[in-house]
């Protein structure tokens, strides 16, 4: 049974390398002038996805040939991306499409003023004294 209501939207697969299936050229997404804070926000978001699937072998970076750029696909329940996508964003200034950046911003805003109920967890603490 698939726990997701809709198919996950794939992002971050690049042309070149093994099994090139006509993906976009990562070089066309490099933006050295991209706002650094926004890039860091997006990169950290990408690092914190949930593991969706694992592959046998690592994908090399198409820009610096980093041979250990990951072997997992991560997800947030809406998008699915290769583990190494954060490397592209953080180390190579790869600016992803506006729709994805807005998605990251919207998800971040969901937790800005989250209310936390810690009573249940505190109920497991042993009395001190």
Q: Which residue has the higher pLDDT, 24 or 58?
A: 24
Over residues 53-59, mean pLDDT: 87
Confidence band, pLDDT 50/70/90 cuts, at residue 111 = confident
The reply to whether the predicted model has a pTM over 0.85 is no
Closest CA to 83 of 123, 119, 43: 43
pLDDT digits (tens, 9 = 90+) for 113-122: 888 899 999 8
| Separation in Å, CA 127 to CA 16, 60, 62, 119, 122 | 59, 52, 55, 15, 10
For the chain, the domains span 9-111
Order across the sheet with 72-75: list the strands: 9-10, 79-82, 72-75, 50-54
């Amino acid at each position: 049974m698939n726990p997701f209501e809709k198919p996950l939207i794939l992002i971050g697969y690049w042309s070149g390398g093994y099994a090139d299936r006509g993906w976009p050229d990562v070089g066309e997404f490099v933006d050295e002038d991209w706002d650094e804070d926004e890039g860091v926000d997006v990169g950290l978001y990408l690092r914190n996805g949930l593991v969706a699937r694992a592959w046998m072998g690592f994908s090399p970076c198409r820009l610096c040939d980093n041979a250990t750029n990951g072997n997992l696909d991560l997800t947030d329940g809406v998008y699915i991306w290769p583990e190494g996508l954060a490397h592209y964003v953080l180390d190579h200034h790869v600016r992803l499409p506006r729709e994805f950046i807005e998605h990251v911003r919207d998800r971040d805003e969901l937790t800005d003023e989250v209310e936390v109920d810690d009573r249940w967890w505190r109920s497991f603490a042993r009395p001190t004294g």
